[in-house]
Chain A
Amino acid sequence: MADFFAMHGYAAYVWPAYAVFAIALIADAVAPVFAHRRILRDLAGRLRRAASRKSP
């Protein structure tokens, strides 16, 4: 197992490559989730403002 992680001396190149791949794609996958939430929240705020504009 340790052998596997050592990659015959290439661990310093192989694992960072996979790490960059994982980090980039996770960041890419998470971004729309947050954006989705933010937009729904903004929209709710906008509707509330519109409601308060009409009520008085």
Chain B
Amino acid sequence: MNPLLLWFHKLGSPPYFYRFAGRWLPWLYAIALVTGAIGFYGGLALAPADYQQGDSFRIMYVHVPCAWMSLFAYLFMAANGFVALVWRIKLSEILAMASAPIGAAFTFVTLVTGSLWGKPTWGTWWTWDARLTSELVLLFLYFGVIGLYHAIEDRRQAARAAAFLALVGIVNLPIVHYSVIWWNTLHQGSTVSFLGPSKISADMLWPLLTVAFATHVYFFASLFARARVALLELESGKDWVRGLLPATEAAHG
């Protein structure tokens, strides 16, 4: 077999993934912390103030990466949910369900920071424009997935049901992303472009991209931590989990 495929196959085995994720966790957290600190320093201290918005534009360095992550996490969740439903791969169920609370957190931060940004720039905390509304719907979708997952007792069935809901809700993603194009909204359109030239100056841009990188790394760190917990719960009858126990029992006296 192709070595990469073989590795993926191995990664799908719970004990291997548990150890693999455990080994990578500290590194991922460290990378996220360091790059995040660099990005924030660049954004808060180095980048020049915006000529229109003054210093309030510095909210961008939390708002925009979190907004991107809120969409990315949903996409990740739905993709894993699809795999879980079609091929019934246990790890995909776990990854899908682990990304839901992280995505919800990012969505929540997006909404709050957006409001905090909206007050000085638009003069209101909240309006019912399409981008804002669809982002709120996204938060409710995350809540729905999480709620459904916790409301069903059998863990695997719960994961499948919630994954199904995540797939149904994916129609909302293009609405969030293209709402600024399809409807005329208060919210500004795309300023960062990875294909054409960006409409933002480079010394403002690099901290943004650095923070975005940090949040992606953080996403995987948190994902791994949550997936490890879910794996333990799901596999609690297995020998490899029992093998983990004596150490903890000793720790508890």
Interface string of A1-44 (1 = CB under 8 A from B): 00010011110011011101100110111011101100111011
Within the complex, the shortest CB–CB distance from A44 to chain B, in Å, comes to: 5
In the complex, whether B202 has a CB less than 8 A from a CB of chain A is no
**SS of A interface (majority):** helix
Bound together, the chains give a CA A29 to CA B226 distance in angstroms of 9
- Stretch from B75-83, B147-155, B227-235 contacting the other chain: B227-235
User: Least Cβ distance of A12 to chain B in Å?
Assistant: 9
Interface pair A10/B55, CB less than 8 Å apart: yes
Q: Chain A residues with Cβ under 8 A from B144's Cβ?
A: none
Query: Which positions 200-253 of chain B face chain A at CB distance < 8 Å?
Result: 218, 221-222, 225-226, 228-229, 232-233, 236, 241-242, 244-245, 248-249, 252
- The yes or no answer to B91 lying at the interface (CB within 8 A) is no
Query: Is A24 in contact with B225, judged by CB distance below 8 angstroms?
Result: no
Tell yes or no: B66 within 8 A of A by CB.
Answer: yes
Would you call B245 and A47 a contact (CB within 8 A)? yes
If A14-B56, A33-B225 touch, whether A39 touches B232 (CB-CB below 8 Å) is: yes
Contact indicator B109/A35 (Cβ below 8 Å): no
- Contact partner of A17 (CB less than 8 A), chosen from B102, B113, B218, B221, is B113
**Does B29 reach chain A (CB closer than 8 Å)?**
yes
Known contacts A10-B56, A14-B58, A29-B222: does B228 contact A36 (CB below 8 Å)?
yes
At the interface, yes or no: A49 with Cβ under 8 Å from chain B? no
Report yes or no: A32 in contact with B232, Cβ–Cβ below 8 A.
no
In whole angstroms, what is the CA distance A13 to B117 when docked?
A: 7
- For residue A10, which residues in chain B have a CB less than 8 angstroms away from its CB? 54-56, 58, 120
Q: Does the CB pair A32–B120 fall under 8 Å?
A: no
Complexed CA–CA distance, A13 and B109 (Å): 13
Minimum C-beta distance from B7 to chain A (A)? 25
B49 touches A (CB below 8 Å) = yes
User: Does B119 sit within 8 A of A, measured CB to CB?
Assistant: yes
6 contacts across the A-B interface (CB closer than 8 A): A14-B55, A17-B62, A17-B112, A21-B62, A28-B102, A32-B228
